[in-house]
């Protein structure tokens, strides 16, 4: 990857982190306001209650600050303790809507924020080094990845694809057969959630636009979910594509790959 591409990706992640930091500042201001309003009432109940309540709010704020710091550290490639990685992922999902609200006030396009959120989420999942069996991974794609003129119904059963090469579905079906993960084509969020409930995967890789990926990550939380942005040469939701190499890398980072090199070398020795 070129230095320019790395800088561009880092800048994209910084947007969501910056907005989330803004959300954290708003939360701290609210904490301070709540403490100030409740001070006299708490003091009447017990002289020590205002201090105890203030310390509790301070501890919550400190935990949020640690989570944001860990997120920034992970993006920069610094070491993040294992016991904090899962909590950081939870914090990111918790403050997502706060970041959207701050972005709206600042006039930032929602798609940019959602794209930045997906990039940060992917980085956090990558830092956790999750490894699962292929049959514990669920891959979901939108139906717009299928050629619009294709007569074959592949929703719920992508095995109906004839693999004519007119779209990317055939290549994805082939990868699913070769690598062993579950693969489904869905028409929307409702069917995607039903599929997750049916399969009960340990991780999800989804192909979609920024909006659907961001909402999907929220929907399946706490299941770790990796998002791969689709390519839209004809506009949204019509004859979209996916970078197959990027998708393969996303899957290979999560599943436990068969140790084929050792197998081949042992076969050669036997010969």
Beta-carbon neighbour count of residue 206 at 10 Å?
A: 23
Question: Are 216 and 196 a contacting pair, CB within 8 Å?
Answer: no
CA count, 13 A, side-chain hemisphere, 34: 12
Match 């006299």 to its residue by tokens. Answer: 40
**pLDDT, averaged across the chain:** 87
Name the pTM for this structure.
Answer: 0.81
Beta bridge partners of 208: 229
The answer to whether the beta carbons of residues 142 and 185 sit under 8 Å apart is yes
Residue 261 predicted with pLDDT over 80 = no
Q: Quick one: average pLDDT of 201-221? A: 94
pLDDT of residue 253: 94
Whole-angstrom Cα distance, residue 42 to residue 51?
Answer: 9
* pLDDT tens figures, 116-131: 999 999 988 998 889 9
Contacts of 268 (CB under 8 A, 6+ apart): none
C-alpha–C-alpha distance, residues 213 and 217, integer Å: 6
Query: How far is the C-alpha of 36 from the C-alpha of 234, rounded, in Å?
Result: 55
Residue 12: φ, ψ to 5°? -60, -40
Burial of residue 36 (number of CB atoms within 10 Å: 0-12, 13-18, 19+): exposed
* Phi, psi dihedrals of residue 200, rounded to the nearest 5°: 50, 60
The distance from CA 69 to its chain's CA centroid, rounded to whole angstroms, is 19
| Candidate from 1-5, 40-44, 127-131 with smallest mean pLDDT | 1-5
The DSSP string of 190-252 is: HHHHHHHHHH--SEEEEEE-HHHHHHHHHHHTTS-EEEEE-B-TT-TTSS-B--HHHHHHHHH
At residue 190, the pLDDT reads: 82
Could you check whether the bond before residue 222 is cis, i.e. omega within 30 degrees of 0?
A: yes
Q: Beta partners for 137?
A: 203
Using the predicted structure, report yes or no on whether residue 195 has a pLDDT greater than 60: yes
- Kindly state the tokens that stand for 106: 């600042």
- Tell me the pLDDT band of 3, cut-offs 50, 70 and 90: very low
pLDDT of residue 139: 96
pLDDT tens across 54-87, in order?
Answer: 999 999 999 889 988 888 887 777 788 877 888 8
Per-residue pLDDT reduced to its tens digit, 138-178:
999 999 999 999 999 998 789 999 999 999 999 999 999 99
């Amino acid at each position: 990857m070129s230095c320019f591409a790395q800088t561009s990706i880092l800048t994209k992640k910084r947007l969501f982190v910056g907005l989330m930091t803004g959300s954290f500042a708003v939360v701290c201001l609210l904490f301070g306001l709540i403490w100030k309003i409740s001070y006299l009432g708490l003091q009447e109940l017990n002289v020590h209650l205002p201090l105890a309540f203030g310390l509790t709010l301070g501890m919550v704020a400190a935990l949020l600050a640690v989570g944001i710091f860990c997120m920034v550290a992970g993006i920069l490639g610094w070491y993040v303790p294992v016991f904090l990685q899962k909590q950081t992922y939870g914090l990111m999902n918790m403050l997502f809507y706060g970041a959207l609200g701050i972005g709206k006030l600042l006039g930032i396009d929602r798609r940019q924020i959602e794209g930045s959120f997906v990039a940060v989420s992917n980085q956090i999942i990558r830092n956790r080094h999750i490894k699962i069996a292929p049959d514990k991974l669920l891959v979901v794609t939108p139906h717009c990845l299928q050629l619009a003129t294709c007569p074959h119904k592949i929703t719920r059963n992508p095995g109906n694809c004839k693999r004519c090469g007119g779209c990317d579905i055939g290549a994805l079906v082939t990868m699913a057969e070769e690598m062993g993960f579950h693969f489904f084509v869905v028409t929307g969020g409702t069917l995607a959630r039903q599929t997750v409930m049916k399969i009960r995967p340990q991780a999800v890789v989804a192909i979609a636009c920024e909006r659907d990926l961001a909402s999907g990550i929220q929907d399946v939380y706490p299941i770790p979910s990796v998002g791969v942005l689709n390519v839209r040469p004809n506009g949204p939701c019509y004859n979209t594509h996916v970078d197959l190499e990027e998708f393969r890398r996303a899957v290979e980072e999560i599943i436990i790959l068969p140790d084929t090199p050792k197998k081949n070398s042992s076969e050669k020795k036997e010969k």
